[in-house]
Amino acid sequence: MWLTVTLQLANAHIGDLIAGIDVVPAADGGVDFDIEATFGLLLREQEEWAWVCHEAVTQPGAIRAPRYTRASDGTWLATVSDTNEGRGGNTLFRSPDGACSWDDVSGLEGRLVTAADFDPLDPNIAWAVTGSTPAQSAIMGSTDGGTTWQVDTEAPGQQFHGLAAAGDELMVAVATSDDGAAGHLWTLPAGGTWTEQSVPLFGAKDPTKLQYLTSEDADHFWLVVDPIGGDILIETTDGGETWSSVYRAGGEILDGALAGDALWIVVDGLDLVSIADGMATGPVEGFPLSAGLDTVDDTLYTVPLSYLVGPMLTRRRADGTFETLAFPDDIARQKECPAKTTVAEICTPLWDKLLPDLRGFDELPIDAGTITTDTGGEIVAPSKCGCSSSGTGAPWALALGALAVARRRERASLGHPDQESRGLRFGPIGGLSHGSTSSSGARCCRSARCGPPSVASLGASPAPGGGRSPSTASASGTGGDGSARSPSRCLAAPT
């Protein structure tokens, strides 16, 4: 499952850093994932990766990356949570033909859609949550697969931050009050109506957001309290009647998924932590710095920040190491679409501009201002750490990508993890993983325009491993704090 805000502020246009954002689960629940990246939507088609530009639904040069969700019948919805960045000022788009045509929808005019999803049992039913002013905050419903929308439930005084299916029997929407001082959970059981419950924020300082993370079933799921500062993971086992604070992160919880007997979470794109039986264990050594993850058959799949560590999709083996399944230069083509469709008209001219950046992962176009790698090579460090959207960041994307070139570019099969594979074992040699350091100690900005974590934070001392056993405190509407706490981390300030 993905968090609504996972790297949503990453740049979303051609020329930006080549980085992954999240996994889009396969419609059949298998391993043929699609991938959200900073530079587009990557579709797995006939054992190849095909590219769809974000500009199909955004204005050129948009900062926010769209979020995508797909119904079981192949219909897509794309959310652009900024009326200034969505194409034509709209914030929700629908594709009925496998991501070739992206059409405006009706009934949402003037509304800011913050999240949308399909009913897991009926692709004709879709839900969206809106916000921007109290009068516009509402749960919207569609009975024709997202083509037309109507107000289902008004929620004045609230701001919605997330919406997702918690299994097959429950839809969940989360919101906070306009001032961020109170949390709200909205649930919709199969065949029922939306009902509201309060959610404790466990002492988080205002303003606070509330995010849906993942679920085990309709009664057992996790939310993230997202204040200014470290996030708080909270859990309910009775459908939201009571809550426990189970883990206090030293940064932002970007994503989470269940595998085996544990909940796995990604913190700041730097650390992978497992939580089971009240114990928080980690960070996991050798974790390929990633923003998003998902599971199939209890196996973890991650979408790394590709410009740092090379791969764009990895899988965790039974022995705890990670193997590579795909690199950015495995993107074979633009998605093939009929003439006059959105992708054919908007994305086709952009493919030739993107291609050199993708193929740059196999080349070293280095010529100035260097830092030294552990292999003796030198790579260029751009001004302002490559965070500018003016084009100066593109060479840095290639340069950091070059850190992975020294390793053998072997890929494992995307099939079952028990199959024989030749994937890479991730570690600090030849690339950056948890606990490795930048030899220059250079600091990079971590800002809204930069999405992925700072290079400076990679140079921090690794947090101590091992478990922390919290005395979890239950709450019903208020208070309590018995959560595990992660070590504080020093991150570079925005520049």
257-297 pLDDT, tens per residue? 999 899 999 999 999 999 998 889 989 998 988 999 999 88
- Amino acid 361: pLDDT: 52
Greater model confidence, 370 or 35: 35
For residues 186 and 196, the answer to whether their CB atoms sit within 8 Å is: yes
Residue 235 pairs in a beta bridge with: 222, 244
Two tokens, residue 197 = 């419950």
Parallel, antiparallel or unpaired: strands 209-215 and 221-226: antiparallel
- Amino acid 476: pLDDT: 41
Report the candidate in 461, 469, 488, 479 with the shortest Cα–Cα distance to residue 247. Answer: 469
Amino acid residing at 475: A
Domain ranges of the chain: 20-331, 365-458
Structural fold of domain 20-331: Methylamine Dehydrogenase; Chain H (2.130.10)
- Amino acid 25: pLDDT: 82
Parallel, antiparallel or unpaired: strands 322-326 and 313-316: antiparallel
Q: Residue 461 above 60 pLDDT?
A: no
Q: What are the tens digits of pLDDT across the range 391-409? A: 334 443 444 434 433 333 4
- Amino acid 213: pLDDT: 93
